[in-house]
Chain A
Amino acid sequence: EIVLTQSPGTLSLSPGERATLSCRASQSVSSTYLAWYQQIPGQAPRLLIHGASSRATGIPDRFSGSGSGPDFTLTISRLEPEDFAVYYCQHYGSSPRTFGQGTKVEIK
């Protein structure tokens, strides 16, 4: 099983600032199989990024993904009020599919 470790656990930032979130896999994984999701309290997760760097349909270009196994990064270039949420990385190349424990981006 591939374990994903996200850091930091919480990121306190102000609107307009840049957010950098990390996801490290327990073993080398192909970037083809790495996704990022956003979850706002009370809502279902929303796909942001797949294949480590491909934005999902309708996702603003302030969201970008990068990296290669085992280290991946989600960057939000300029935080908007609606971006304060929890973010999860996920590996989907093998079973079981696994998620990181999440990074909460909160308003400073």
Chain B
Amino acid sequence: QVQLQESGPGLVEPSGTLSLTCEVSGGSINSSNWWSWVRPSPGKGLEWIGEISHSGTTNYNPSLKSRVTISVDKSKNLFSLKLYSVTAADTAVYYCARDAGHYYDSSTHYFAYWGQGTLVTVSS
């Protein structure tokens, strides 16, 4: 059973960079899946931030694209999120998640696996 665990600083200063990692256990980051980051957004429910494949292909939400980088570290079996120039509006619980099925089969691109989430507060 695949398990995901987020980690990173719980407090980031305004204009700084939010950095989180998601460790994968019970499975390989090298499997043919999409690995995503999601956060709640006031008034919008949940907001998909972006995703990365095992090969390093990325897709980002256009609303955040200019401030986001997602990367993968196969040697450590984890993937990471960097969000630049943060403001108080970026304060949220950040979740990592994985698709149910294969990279090429979009009918399986719903989130079957989730981390427990980590709270990041943007404040000085």
Interface residues of A (CB under 8 A from B): 1, 6, 32-33, 35, 37, 43-47, 50-51, 56, 88, 90, 92-102
Contact = CB atoms under 8 A, between A and B. Distances in A.
A50 B59 contact: no
Nearest to B6: A44
17 contacts: A1-B62, A6-B45, A32-B107, A33-B106, A37-B46, A44-B114, A44-B115, A45-B111, A47-B110, A47-B112, A50-B100, A56-B112, A88-B46, A90-B110, A92-B110, A96-B61, A99-B48
Contacts, number: 64
B45 A100 contact: yes
B106 A93 contact: yes
Given A1-B62, A45-B95, A93-B106, A101 B45 contact: yes
Given A96-B62, A101-B45, A51 B107 contact: yes
B62 to A, nearest CB: 6
Interface string B105-123: 0110111101111000000
A32 B115 CA distance: 25
Interface string B80-124: 000000000000000100001000001101111011110000000
By secondary structure, the A interface counts as loop
Nearest to B44: A101
B78 to A, nearest CB: 17
Given A35-B110, A37-B111, A95-B59, A44 B95 contact: yes
Interface in B5-58: 36, 38, 43-48, 51
Contacts of A43: 116
Nearest to A1: B62
A66 B20 CA distance: 37
A97 B43 contact: no
Contacts of A46: 114
